[in-house]
Amino acid sequence: MENANDTPLVTLKNLHKRYGKGALVLENIDIEVSGTEFIGLIGPSGCGKSTLLKLIAGLTPITSGELEINGRSPAAARDRMSFIFQDATLLPWLTVHKNIQTTMRLHGVDKRECALVADKMAAVVGLDKVKNFYPRQLSGGMQMRVSIARALSVSPQILLLDEPFGALDEMTRNHLNEELLKIRSMEDWTAFFVTHSVAEAVFLSTQIIILTANPGKIFKKIPVPFPYPRTAETRESAEFQSLVGEVSHHLRSVDR
Ligand SMILES: Nc1ncnc2c1ncn2[C@@H]1O[C@H](COP(=O)(O)OP(=O)(O)O)[C@@H](O)[C@H]1O
Ligand SMILES: [Mg+2]
């Protein structure tokens, strides 16, 4: 997804964040992202990962520095972004098909179009056979798929994911990681993905950003060179394991 001009998709420059009069949460954050990246954010608990996503989403204001999405303020660019949380946050009284539509409805998409897109998205995430099920009838992994379908239904340019698969078992998580990349190869959004799993970050990302805590600062940016498509075999390669080792090593040194 190239921009018409050379404006980066997301720019954070010398960004600082504190909540109210509280302690500094993020200090001097510099990140510049083009439209082709998948950014993995990793760091100790409380280092400001969720805050960073909320800043980009325009859900909380920056304290100082610069933050631009496509040369605009996050608030002005909000319709280009979707958020996926660890909790799938589905409405229990709505079917899968209706749950997928809730974000589109908020965006003012008309009913007929909502239903059509929900059909398409249910198929993309492999839920077409359970479209009329209710959330309680789904596994955790299936609920996350609904959440992904709902987020992607509005064709976001930027997807913000806050530990979306953190509560799932490793096999389900690996599976969803592969599916997420498959969907991205068709839809081409830019991701900011928070995770505690080094292997997950390496598998998904074009670049991993390691943060330190108190206050949150960028410790290291690590490019991930493996070409897409990445598959289960990618995970088993020696290069993959070696990079997982390297990132884990850095993470240990900041997580003390
Ligand atoms: N709404 C808020 N008001 C005040 N402090 C907050 C708020 N949200 C987060 N914090 C504080 O900011 C710091 C970073 O939190 P967070 O971004 O959730 O970290 P992470 O996601 O890396 O665990 C923590 O010290 C947390 O207590
Ligand atoms: Mg968090």
CATH of the domain at 171: 3.40.50.300
Both tokens of residue 106? 């908020």
Both tokens of residue 25? 């949460």
Nearest ligand to the CA of 25 is 1
C-alpha distances in Å from residue 52, one per residue of 150, 176, 192: 22, 24, 9
Question: CA-CA distance, 11 to 72, in Å (whole number)?
Answer: 10
Both tokens of residue 223? 């490019």
Q: Using most ligand atoms within 8 A of CB, pick from 51, 194, 209, 210 the residue to mutate for ligand 1.
A: 51
Instruction: For residue 151, tell me if it sits in a domain.
Output: no
Contact 225 CB / ligand 1 (< 6 Å): no
Instruction: For residue 53, tell me if it sits in a domain.
Output: yes
Q: Does 1 score more than 50 pLDDT?
A: no
C-alpha distances in Å from residue 28, one per residue of 44, 62, 117: 18, 11, 41
Contact 228 CB / ligand 1 (< 6 Å): no
Contacts of 247 (CB under 8 A, 6+ apart): 42, 198, 201, 202, 208, 210, 222
Q: Does 2 score more than 50 pLDDT?
A: no
Instruction: For residue 108, tell me if it sits in a domain.
Output: no
| Confidence (pLDDT) at 187 | 87
Residue with CA closest to ligand 1 atom 10:
19
Q: Does 180 score more than 60 pLDDT?
A: yes
Question: CA-CA distance, 132 to 46, in Å (whole number)?
Answer: 39
Nearest-atom index, ligand 1, CA of 60 = 1
Ligand 2 center–CA 43 separation, angstroms:
10
Q: What is the mean pLDDT of residues 52-78?
A: 96
What percent of the chain lies above the pLDDT cut of 90? 92
Question: CA-CA distance, 49 to 251, in Å (whole number)?
Answer: 14
Identify the CA nearest to 161 among candidates 23, 42, 3: 42
Phi/psi-derived region of residue 218, left when phi > 0, alpha when psi is between -120 and 50, beta in every other case? beta
Which residues are found with C-beta within 5 Å of the ion, ligand 2? 50
Confirm if 140 and 166 have CB atoms less than 8 A apart.
no
Residue with CA closest to ligand 1 atom 8:
51
Q: Does 71 score more than 70 pLDDT?
A: yes
Question: CA-CA distance, 27 to 140, in Å (whole number)?
Answer: 36
Nearest ligand to the CA of 163 is 2
Q: Using most ligand atoms within 8 A of CB, pick from 15, 17, 24, 25 the residue to mutate for ligand 1.
A: 25
**Edge-first strand listing for the sheet containing 207-212:** 81-84, 158-162, 190-194, 38-42, 207-212, 217-223
Instruction: For residue 3, tell me if it sits in a domain.
Output: no
The DSSP secondary structure of 187-205, one letter per residue, reads H--EEEEE-S-HHHHHHH-
| Confidence (pLDDT) at 201 | 98
Q: Does 6 score more than 90 pLDDT?
A: no
Helix locations, 73-139, DSSP H: 96-106, 111-124
Instruction: For residue 241, tell me if it sits in a domain.
Output: yes
Contacts of 81 (CB under 8 A, 6+ apart): 56, 57, 58, 69, 74, 156, 157, 158, 159, 160
Residue with CA closest to ligand 1 atom 20:
46
Instruction: For residue 219, tell me if it sits in a domain.
Output: yes
Q: Which residue segment(s) compose the domain that 46 sits in?
A: 10-82+156-254
Residue with CA closest to ligand 1 atom 7:
19
pLDDT, tens digit, for every residue of 188-231? Answer: 899 999 999 999 999 999 999 999 999 999 999 999 999 999 99
- pLDDT bracket for residue 5 (50, 70, 90): low
What pTM was estimated for this model as a whole?
A: 0.95
Instruction: For residue 96, tell me if it sits in a domain.
Output: no
Residue with CA closest to ligand 1 atom 26:
46
Nearest-atom index, ligand 1, CA of 162 = 21
The count of domains in the chain is 1
Across the chain, mean pLDDT equals: 95
- pLDDT bracket for residue 7 (50, 70, 90): confident
pLDDT, tens digit, for every residue of 95-150? Answer: 999 999 999 999 999 999 999 999 999 999 999 999 999 999 999 999 999 999 99
| Confidence (pLDDT) at 191 | 97
